[in-house]
């Protein structure tokens, strides 16, 4: 025999009020990239890809896909490492010959490759 629970009107109202908050919390997890960071990515991507409307759509798709794979904090760390690898001298060696650093960059490269397959082909 199946038991049916009756939450009554107060229970349904509480549930209805809780759903948007729960959905909003989930959206924050999936959309933790600030708009400025997304725009920077799109501008740089468009410059490399011809600056067309099609490039805008593909580059927007790309950063949106990367954001679903890589948390923003890891994205920032990987971008910082890539920038530091461009410098010369002894200090830049720290950002090339380190397993943690290689892992960060590899995660970003994988996310970018997935995004390129999805958005540019």
Say whether pTM exceeds 0.75. Answer: no
Higher pLDDT, 121 or 43: 43
pLDDT one-digit tens code per residue, 56-85: 999 999 999 999 999 999 999 999 988 888
Band of residue 22 on the pLDDT scale cut at 50, 70, 90: very low
pLDDT one-digit tens code per residue, 33-44: 999 999 999 999
2, pLDDT greater than 50: no
Mean pLDDT (whole number) for 13-39: 59
What integer pLDDT is reported at residue 91 of this predicted model? Answer: 66
**HEC per residue, the chain:** CCCCCCCHHHHHHHHHHHHHHHHHHHHHHHCCCCHHHHHHHHHHHHHHCCCCHHHHHHHHHHHHHHHHHCCHHHHHHHHHHHHHHCCCCHHHHHCCCCHHHHHHHHHHHHHHHHHHHHHCC
């Amino acid at each position: 025999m199946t038991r049916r629970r009756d939450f009554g009107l107060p229970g349904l109202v509480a549930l209805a009020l809780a759903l948007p908050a729960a959905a909003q919390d989930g959206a924050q997890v999936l959309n933790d990239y600030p708009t400025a960071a997304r725009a920077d990515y799109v501008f740089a991507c468009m410059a490399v890809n011809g600056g067309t409307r099609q490039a805008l759509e593909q580059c927007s798709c790309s950063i949106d896909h990367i954001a679903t794979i890589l948390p923003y904090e890891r994205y920032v760390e990987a971008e910082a490492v890539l920038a530091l690898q461009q410098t010369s001298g002894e200090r830049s060696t720290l950002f090339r010959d380190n397993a943690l650093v290689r892992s960060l960059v590899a995660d970003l490269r994988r996310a970018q490759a997935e995004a390129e397959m999805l958005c540019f082909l």
